[in-house]
Amino acid sequence: MPPDSSAATQVSPAGDGLLCEALTVPVDRDLLTTVQYVRRRLAEVGPEHIRADGDFERVSLPSQDCDALRDLLVAEKAQVVIEIGLAYGSSALAIGEALISQGQQGTRHVIIDAYQHLFHNAGWEAIASAGLTDLSAMLAERSQLALPRLVREGFVADAAFVDGSHIFHNVFVDLYFLRELVRPDGLIVLDDCQWPSVATAVRYFEVNTGWCSQVISQPTRLRAFRVPDPPVAPSFESFKPFDVEPTA
Greatest Cα pair distance in the chain: 59
Write down the pLDDT at residue 58: 95
Write down the pLDDT at residue 26: 52
Write down the pLDDT at residue 48: 92
Write down the pLDDT at residue 25: 46
First to last CA, the chain: 46
Mean pLDDT, the chain, whole residue set: 89
Residue 246, pLDDT > 70, answer: no
Closest CA to 7 of 107, 125, 92: 125
Tell me the average pLDDT across 28-38.
93
pLDDT digits (tens, 9 = 90+) for 194-239: 999 999 999 999 999 999 999 999 999 999 999 999 999 888 988 8
Write down how long the chain is.
248
Write down the pLDDT at residue 138: 97
Over the Cα atoms of the chain, what is R_g? 17
- Rounded to the nearest 10°, the torsion over CA 31, 154, 227, 101 is -10
Confidence of residue 173 (pLDDT cuts 50, 70, 90): very high
Percent of the residues in the chain that have a pLDDT greater than 70, as a whole number: 87
Confidence of residue 9 (pLDDT cuts 50, 70, 90): very low
Residue 8, pLDDT > 50, answer: no
What is the CATH T-level fold of the domain 22-238, as seen in this structure?
Rossmann fold (3.40.50)
DSSP-based three-state secondary structure for 138: strand
Write down the pLDDT at residue 195: 95
Tell me the average pLDDT across 80-94.
98
